[in-house]
Structure 1
Amino acid sequence: MNIEALPVQPYVDAQQEERRGLITVHTGSGKGKSTAALGLALLEHGHGKEVKVYQFMNMPTTRFGEHRLLEQLGIPIEGLGDGFSWKSCDMHHSAGLVLQGWAKAEATIRAGKHSLVVLDKIMFPLCHGWIPLDAVLACLLELQQHVHVVLTGRGAPAKLIELADTVTEMTLIKHHFKAGVPAQRGIDD
């Protein structure tokens, strides 16, 4: 283990810095992208701010642990897809659902009522052309000063990474699936 020296740069008062809507991307092949986004949703909600979570791959009827908890806390969470779309029998239908979902999410972002909008697992439909990347980028370029957006999923497009203020890549080092351990309720849902 390497011991690191403490930083010596002076503290900058954030109140003096530019305040604007931030774009955060959680991408990569490792676990934790959605979990990190939901953590930000909890932080924002804890400050009394309005939060909305859209999940592009989950069905509207999905009720995993995060759905039950966020609903108890008063944080709206909405599934926009038809489950694991890569297993879909009708990709045209799946694509149509998430495109309609994007219209809802875009309207929410532009309305400015919510200070944080989470677009969970949006990278899959973006990377497959189901949602036009240019439409998402245009919306993000016009964020109101108080609206922050978090986008999650593997394979974030380069243009989105370039536009984002914060990008975190979750790297897979080891995963229990590869050892034959199945998904665990509360850990993998």
Structure 2
Amino acid sequence: MTDDLNARHNVKMRKIKEARERMMESKTEEKGLIMVHTGSGKGKSSSSFGMVLRCIAHRMPCAVVQFIKGNWDSGEKTILREHFADQCRFFVSGDGFTWETQDRERDIAAAKNGWAIAKAQILDPEIEFVLLDEINIALRYDYLDIDEVVDFLLHEKPRMTHVCLTGRNAKPELIGAADLVTEMTLVKHPFRDGVKAQKGVEF
């Protein structure tokens, strides 16, 4: 019985491998991607910083522009600034979450400053990957003009530069312009049970 099960498994896996090889033969294009990580679930920034580490491992110069979060101490900012500053530029634009600042004009000014920095990094021929962390929040509250951001990404971004934009409530215009969109779905979160944000998990 075991030999028969193994034989059937091998036949099935061989067919899958052949089908995948045929599919991969048609995937020949390379381009810089516009990627969006959104949704109410945890993991949007976490997965994006995973891509930053991949870029560093592949010796691809990258940049991070962090919107909204402000100058709080996060593990990703500390490790990148202290150990990989020559491979990844890290910019913080914003004085904290909107419910903390309670100053719309200041938030708008910070977001616009962050967007100016972001455009400069995206246009820099040395940079191959740019993470715009929590920019979707700035777009959601109209601190930035969504049409301006989308137009820049579609028409001015260098062809081979990757850009990843994170944050909840990505606008439809951005989703429509993106090459890759991932929505993190909230199924269960310890915060609902009174567990606060913890080092190494949330920041």
Please, what TM-score do these two structures have when normalized by structure 2? 0.84
Gaps of 5+ in 1: none
For 1:121, the aligned partner's letter is: E
Report the alpha carbon displacement of residue 13 of structure 1 after superposing the two structures with TM: 4.9
Report the alpha carbon displacement of residue 112 of structure 1 after superposing the two structures with TM: 2.8
Corresponding residue of 2:131: 118
Please, which of 68, 72, 78 is the counterpart of residue 57 of structure 1? 68
- 1:15-41 alpha-carbon deviations (Å, 9 max, x no partner): x61221101110000000000110111
For 2:161, the aligned partner's letter is: V
Rounded to whole Å, the distance in 1 between the matches of 2:80 and 2:55 is: 12
Task: State whether residues 44 and 116 of structure 1, in contact with CA within 8 Å, keep that contact through their aligned partners in structure 2.
Answer: yes
Task: State whether residues 38 and 169 of structure 2, in contact with CA within 8 Å, keep that contact through their aligned partners in structure 1.
Answer: yes
Corresponding residue of 2:33: 22
Structure showing greater radius of gyration is 2
For 2:63, the aligned partner's letter is: K
- Bigger drift between 79-88 and 170-179 goes to 79-88
Change (3 A) 1:100 1:173: same
Report the alpha carbon displacement of residue 62 of structure 1 after superposing the two structures with TM: 3.1
Rounded to whole Å, the distance in 1 between the matches of 2:99 and 2:37 is: 20
Corresponding residue of 1:105: 118
Corresponding residue of 2:164: 150
- Bigger drift between 134-143 and 34-43 goes to 134-143
* Alignment coverage as a number of residue pairs: 183
Task: State whether residues 41 and 51 of structure 1, in contact with CA within 8 Å, keep that contact through their aligned partners in structure 2.
Answer: yes
Corresponding residue of 1:95: 108
CA RMSD of aligned residues (A): 1.6
Q: Higher helix fraction: Structure 1 or Structure 2?
A: 2
Identical columns (%):
38
Gaps of 5+ in 2: 1-11
Corresponding residue of 1:10: 20
SS at match of 1:76: strand
- 1:65-123 alpha-carbon deviations (Å, 9 max, x no partner): 11111121232221100111232231111111111110110121122321000000001
SS at match of 2:143: coil
Please, which of 11, 32, 44 is the counterpart of residue 43 of structure 2? 32
Task: State whether residues 21 and 145 of structure 1, in contact with CA within 8 Å, keep that contact through their aligned partners in structure 2.
Answer: yes
SS at match of 1:109: helix
